[in-house]
A and B are shown apart, each in its own frame.
Chain A
Amino acid sequence: MIFEYFMSGLDIVLNWNSILAILFGVAWGTIGGMIPGINATIAMALLLPFTWGMEPAVALMMLSGVYCGGEYGGSIPAILIGTPGTNAAAATVLDGYELHKQGKTGLALFSSLNASVFGGIVGATALVFLAIPLAKVALAFGPAEYFALAALGLTMICSLGEKNVFKGILAGFLGILVSTVGFDPFAGVPRFTFDILSLASGFEMVPLMMGLYAITEMFKQSQAVVGNDGFFLKAQAVTKFPTWKETKPLVFPASWAATLGVIIGAMPGAGATAAAFISYSEAKRWSKNPDSFGKGNPIGVAVPEAANNAVTGGALVPLLALGIPGSNSTAIMLGALMIHNVAPGPLLFQKTPEIPYSIFVSLFFANFFLFFIGYLCIKFAIKMTNISKPALIAVIIALVFTGSFAYSGEVFSMGVALSFGLFGLGMRYFGLPHTATVLGFVLGFIMEANLRRALIISEGNYSGVFASSAISSVLLSLAIVSVVFSFYRGYKASQKSGKTVAL
């Protein structure tokens, strides 16, 4: 049965229109992902009006192509300039940029490509064979469980402050603080907006991230240029495709990360960014050599990339199995279906099975194309390292401001990017990790909203939140263990170096 439908899906995909649509979608998505300020969702939204004249299946295939490309593309600037092109690539900066600075550019870029393609294929396979059980997993997650998952993800801030546990926690809490600005969805009043209308819906992710990563980095690099640290990258970057020997240790962690990515992707309200961060922190937690993370460990590149691309398959689960979009990107796919009067959901499989199955097949094709398009983009992007730094910095700053502006259409967003750039520079001065702040920002709101929902459900009983299900108890216990363990390790490390932990 599945096989028959699969063949009919293959039938639709195997014609020039579809192939070109997927190819164009992947290229568009990858380029969009590479540009700071444009993520997979925005790249899809930009193409949406163009899909109206197409067959619904072709439109959906093109959009899934953009989705795959977009989730990958963000890793290229993350590695080359320390600025994630998309939110979901923020975790990739940690080790990717470090590898690039060490001259292992090729290893970082190609590992990220391989991991992305691998993750994408795992996601697509899971979607085909496990859509129904995955939908059940998504349904098992209520507010208490989401809170627990976000809390567990957030424990990663403890380990981001290198030797000092408190720096990571402080930076993370700053992120949570920033996430509270805006409309309070429970009390129905604006919070910390100081009557500034542009803050009424809170800080937007794009200008915030662009500020913290790109602008801070550009400021820092400008300083280096002025201090005549050389116009060009000093170390000659090795840009060769990694060998099997270099790739082999990545396979196992990437498989886990992809699995985690599929599951998190299937839950509405978590998303690719959360998936990338959570899988990164888990990979670090279970690694034999956790200290090598953040210092240029290729696993640190492969894991978040495998996870955020596996999300593409997972995120389609609620859309196709339940008819409910689980993320902004799938909401756009929903829009593309609705405009053609095709309602998604379980009935899609009975009424027009060729549509879901052609999406399945197209995901495999998209990931296959992604490998080649990604390869070309890398070959092209690597040359950027030869461009003189002042020119590169100028272009990036222009891009960052345009990206911030374009998203909301407000000049205010450019101010937000600039302010967070300066803020980031200050944080760097005090050794506070930016990633912890971004993580706090991303997970802070998920945590707060779901904790408050869970508390309404348990009628204000905190222990009810903790023990509402096996899932939340296990996740929260893990979170506590992990915090305690981080402190213990921080304590040991400080003893070793002969210094006391700054309390």
Chain B
Amino acid sequence: MFKRNTMLMLLTLGLIALMIFSVGCGAKDPAPAPAPSPEPAKEEKPAWPQQDIEVVYHSKAGSGGDIFLRAMGKAVEPALGKAFVVNNLPGAAGATAWTRVAKAKPDGHTILGISSTLVTAPLINKMPVNFMSFEPVAMMFIDPMVIFVPADSPYKTLADIVDAAKKNPGKQKWAGGTPGELGVVAGRELMKAADFKVSLVPFEGGGDAAVSVLGGHLDAGIGEYAEIASSVEAGQLRIIVAFNKMPLNQEIPTVAEEGYPEVDVRKLRGIVATKGTPPEIIDRLVEVMKTAYDDPSFKQYYESNNLIPEFVVKDDFLKVMEEQHEQIKASLEN
């Protein structure tokens, strides 16, 4: 009897160990690292990378940004010669992930995948880190933001919706994100530029917001293209205007084309490194990241998802984040 129990205990523990092991490690890409490419040794290049690169990200495995990083990882691995391992640390509103990289050894082996959340979250919470705590490497893509309405909405153009809002200030209800989120920032910038007012109803997930607009509970919505793409394709939602020119939908006008070029909101995706990382390694990182754009399967991924490639590196990237910082701060204040 006892023996049998012991056996069962061992079996249970074994199963449990397997699960826990996969919790700890499963989030990482299981694909084996491709063999280091027999690159001819170039004299001035630093000896980097010497090990797999850990890419920390602040949201859960399976989230949009996580999938993006993993797809990009596959694309840069050939140039990197090592594996690009995504580590998801969703705790403490992002601070867990960011502090880890901020405090990592500045050798370019631990880097951070970022989105505009890195700019927003420290403005909302008191955090020991913000975007300035890192060495900017490269902004890679912009997630296009759009204003959408139900397919049967009377509003066809931005002018329609602005005119209607001017007649009845605050009467239109738009689904948007939470304060500080870039959709809200975009909405505020546009309202300021075009001088109109609508009520923004905060939603935490893009899905809920889109369904509420689809169900006719709200007049319009403002958010990422990716979250509503299939409903637009199926003709249930209609995009009125985009904040960024979308490669797949050239026919959709941007706010700049509609007469508000001063509204410049870019929801960014990029890579930063620990402060103090040697400039040679930053340069190598920039070089490696750039190769991602040419990878055929990654290209198919970002093109079909309507991500806008925009390669802005180092100090220029920092400038983009600084501008965004001011925009978000202003939107949080009013």
A binds B: yes
B87-141 residues with Cβ-Cβ distance < 8 A to A are: 88-93, 95-96, 121, 124-127
Task: Specify the chain A residue showing the minimal Cβ separation from B211.
Answer: A268
Given contacts A343-B229, A346-B236, A408-B90, whether A387 and B9 have CB atoms under 8 Å apart is yes
| B207→A32 contact, CB < 8 A | no
- For residue A254, CB closer than 8 A to chain B, the reply is no
Identify the stretch in A100-108, A274-282, A330-338 within 8 Å (CB) of chain B at 4 or more residues.
A330-338
| A143→B124 contact, CB < 8 A | no
| A324→B231 contact, CB < 8 A | yes
B169-210 residues with Cβ-Cβ distance < 8 A to A are: 170, 173, 178-180, 199, 201-208, 210
Given contacts A198-B92, A391-B9, whether A457 and B217 have CB atoms under 8 Å apart is yes
Complex: A52 Cα to B31 Cα, angstroms: 10
Identify the stretch in B19-27, B251-259, B260-268, B276-284 within 8 Å (CB) of chain A at 4 or more residues.
B19-27
| B26→A395 contact, CB < 8 A | no
CB distance from A131 to the nearest CB of B (A): 13
Interfacial chain A residues near B9, Cβ < 8 Å:
387, 391, 395
- For residue B71, CB closer than 8 A to chain A, the reply is yes
| B5→A387 contact, CB < 8 A | yes
Given contacts A35-B19, A190-B124, whether A335 and B178 have CB atoms under 8 Å apart is no
CB distance from B239 to the nearest CB of A (A): 14
- For residue A402, CB closer than 8 A to chain B, the reply is yes
Complex: A480 Cα to B64 Cα, angstroms: 41
Interfacial chain A residues near B31, Cβ < 8 Å:
49, 52
Fill in one digit per residue for A367-404: 1 if any B CB lies within 8 Å of its CB, else 0.
00000000000001001101110010001000100110
| A143→B233 contact, CB < 8 A | no
Given contacts A49-B26, A346-B236, whether A198 and B91 have CB atoms under 8 Å apart is yes
Complex: A326 Cα to B199 Cα, angstroms: 24
Interfacial chain A residues near B207, Cβ < 8 Å:
268-269, 318, 324-326, 331
| A322→B23 contact, CB < 8 A | no
Identify the stretch in A4-12, A166-174, A409-417 within 8 Å (CB) of chain B at 4 or more residues.
A409-417
Complex: A326 Cα to B209 Cα, angstroms: 11
| A406→B23 contact, CB < 8 A | yes
A188-202 residues with Cβ-Cβ distance < 8 A to B are: 188-190, 193, 195, 197-198, 200-201
| B234→A347 contact, CB < 8 A | yes
Fill in one digit per residue for B4-41: 1 if any A CB lies within 8 Å of its CB, else 0.
01001101110110011011101111110000000000
| A195→B60 contact, CB < 8 A | no
CB distance from A80 to the nearest CB of B (A): 12
Complex: A112 Cα to B89 Cα, angstroms: 35
Identify the stretch in A134-142, A220-228, A284-292, A481-489 within 8 Å (CB) of chain B at 4 or more residues.
A134-142
A188 contact from B26, B170, B179, B234, Cβ within 8 A: B179
| B208→A268 contact, CB < 8 A | yes
Complex: A322 Cα to B227 Cα, angstroms: 11
Complex: A388 Cα to B215 Cα, angstroms: 55
| B96→A341 contact, CB < 8 A | no
Given contacts A35-B19, A335-B62, whether A201 and B93 have CB atoms under 8 Å apart is yes
Interfacial chain B residues near A343, Cβ < 8 Å:
229-230, 233, 304
Interfacial chain A residues near B23, Cβ < 8 Å:
38, 42, 46, 402-403, 406
- For residue A323, CB closer than 8 A to chain B, the reply is yes
Among A49, A335, A341, max chain B CB count under 10 A is at A49
Interfacial chain A residues near B8, Cβ < 8 Å:
380, 383-384, 386-387
| A346→B124 contact, CB < 8 A | no
- For residue A498, CB closer than 8 A to chain B, the reply is no
Interfacial chain A residues near B202, Cβ < 8 Å:
185-186, 453
Interfacial chain A residues near B199, Cβ < 8 Å:
456-457, 459
A17-56 residues with Cβ-Cβ distance < 8 A to B are: 31-32, 35, 38, 42, 44-50, 52
CB distance from A193 to the nearest CB of B (A): 8
Among A31, A138, A140, A200, max chain B CB count under 10 A is at A200
Complex: A322 Cα to B235 Cα, angstroms: 10
- For residue A238, CB closer than 8 A to chain B, the reply is no
Among B5, B19, B215, max chain A CB count under 10 A is at B19
B19 contact from A32, A345, A346, Cβ within 8 A: A32
| B61→A324 contact, CB < 8 A | no
- For residue B300, CB closer than 8 A to chain A, the reply is yes
| A188→B89 contact, CB < 8 A | no
| A200→B95 contact, CB < 8 A | yes
Complex: A201 Cα to B59 Cα, angstroms: 12
CB distance from B104 to the nearest CB of A (A): 15
| A345→B233 contact, CB < 8 A | yes
Complex: A264 Cα to B60 Cα, angstroms: 25
B208-244 residues with Cβ-Cβ distance < 8 A to A are: 208, 210-212, 214-218, 227-231, 233-234, 236
Given contacts A335-B62, A346-B234, whether A188 and B124 have CB atoms under 8 Å apart is yes
| B90→A409 contact, CB < 8 A | yes
Given contacts A49-B28, A324-B230, whether A197 and B211 have CB atoms under 8 Å apart is no
CB distance from B129 to the nearest CB of A (A): 10
- For residue A187, CB closer than 8 A to chain B, the reply is yes
- For residue B305, CB closer than 8 A to chain A, the reply is yes
| B211→A139 contact, CB < 8 A | yes
| A142→B212 contact, CB < 8 A | yes
CB distance from B276 to the nearest CB of A (A): 23
| A457→B227 contact, CB < 8 A | no
| A197→B95 contact, CB < 8 A | yes
- For residue A175, CB closer than 8 A to chain B, the reply is no
Fill in one digit per residue for A232-259: 1 if any B CB lies within 8 Å of its CB, else 0.
0000000000000000000000000000
Fill in one digit per residue for A284-323: 1 if any B CB lies within 8 Å of its CB, else 0.
0000000000000000000000000000000000100011
Complex: A269 Cα to B214 Cα, angstroms: 15
Task: Specify the chain B residue showing the minimal Cβ separation from A189.
Answer: B124
B179 contact from A47, A185, A384, Cβ within 8 A: A185
CB distance from A164 to the nearest CB of B (A): 35
Interfacial chain B residues near A193, Cβ < 8 Å:
125
- For residue A183, CB closer than 8 A to chain B, the reply is yes
- For residue A490, CB closer than 8 A to chain B, the reply is no
CB distance from B76 to the nearest CB of A (A): 16
Interfacial chain A residues near B63, Cβ < 8 Å:
331, 335
| B124→A322 contact, CB < 8 A | no
CB distance from B188 to the nearest CB of A (A): 12
| B201→A457 contact, CB < 8 A | yes
| B230→A408 contact, CB < 8 A | no
Given contacts A138-B211, A197-B125, A322-B211, whether A395 and B13 have CB atoms under 8 Å apart is yes
| A49→B70 contact, CB < 8 A | yes
- For residue A440, CB closer than 8 A to chain B, the reply is no
B204 contact from A331, A449, A459, Cβ within 8 A: A449
12 contacts between A and B (CB under 8 A): A45-B62, A49-B28, A140-B215, A185-B204, A197-B92, A324-B214, A331-B63, A339-B67, A345-B233, A386-B5, A391-B9, A399-B16
Other A-B pairs, 10, CB within 8 Å; known A31-B19, A197-B125: A45-B61, A50-B30, A138-B215, A186-B202, A190-B124, A200-B92, A268-B205, A318-B211, A324-B210, A346-B230
A contact set with B: CB distance below 8 Å = 31-32, 35, 38, 42, 44-50, 52, 138-143, 183, 185-190, 193, 195, 197-198, 200-201, 268-269, 318, 322-326, 331-332, 335, 338-339, 341, 343-348, 380, 383-384, 386-388, 391, 395, 399, 402-403, 406, 408-410, 412-413, 449, 453, 456-457, 459
